[in-house]
A and B are shown apart, each in its own frame.
Chain A
Amino acid sequence: MNELDRKIIEALTRDARTSFRSIAAEADKSTDTVINHYRQLTDEGVIRGSTVVLDAGRIGYEGTAAFHIDVSTTTGHTPAQVLDTLIRMPNIIVATKTVGEHDILALAAIHDVRHYTELGREIAAIPGVRSISSNVWAGNPEICPKYFII
């Protein structure tokens, strides 16, 4: 990563729709050079994509929840399979395998208490899930918008 890469990342983090032309003008480089560097950053996976940051409270979400999930390996199911099902569920916004207390962590946007309970039940019903515990908090703070996005 060089100076131009950092400038591109900085500009697009602030506003993903910034034109390559204006980044080029700012960095005193040609637009083609900026586009090439952007493509490389994307191909290398440094930039994983772009998205819009919404105020979840305004689209009907009262809170956020973290589900800590354990997978039963005796049933022949793997954490990877559970993760695959999880990530397709509406309202799950981040999911990852973890090493530590639990096998999987999933963060979800929550409409209300009933929705929280239902979502917990749905996760518990995924084949291979042995147990879940959860934390919930009111409001929808941006969770690491640069990396994970809410």
Chain B
Amino acid sequence: MAILRALLPRLTAKQFLIIGGVLAVLGGGAIVSAAVLIFIGARGGTLRPAPEQPIAFDHVRHAGELGIPCEFCHRGVEKQAAATIPSVEQCMFCHTVVGRDNPEVELLVAYWEQNEAIDWVRVHRVPDHVRFVHEAHILAGLDCSTCHGQVATMTVVKQVENLNMGMCMGCHREKGASLDCATCHR
């Protein structure tokens, strides 16, 4: 006890009250801030403007005009959690021949020739505590556009749905899917 007493600063009752008051105000502020952030998040605070990508990939051209199915490039969508971004090699399957006069394709070829990965900017993202598995949703018959919107009409892809818990729960209720916490949270 003597050691503990020696370690603690000697405070008067008034000083103790002042410090206690300041800490209470700061703690309360943090709680309020957290509540605001959670509320914003629940309202769909993840919605952002379309980010700028290292290559201006045009979904209208690929998915719209050419009618390439989503899963042709996002090959993981039917068999794993992540839909996956296609490898540079996969782009080059076609662009070794087609579109070589397009400056954006030139950028792609440069990545390929320098053996470099492309740093795409993520458009859709759920928090780390959520495990979203594309495979299960696609196999249940959901269309990609349910969550991602009409990507085939977007020159630059942006997030159009909140992808918040309310949206997930609403859909799960409607379709009779599991509402167990552990289905999505782990």
Tell whether A and B belong to one assembly.
Answer: no
The interface of chain B, by Cβ under 8 A from chain A, is: none
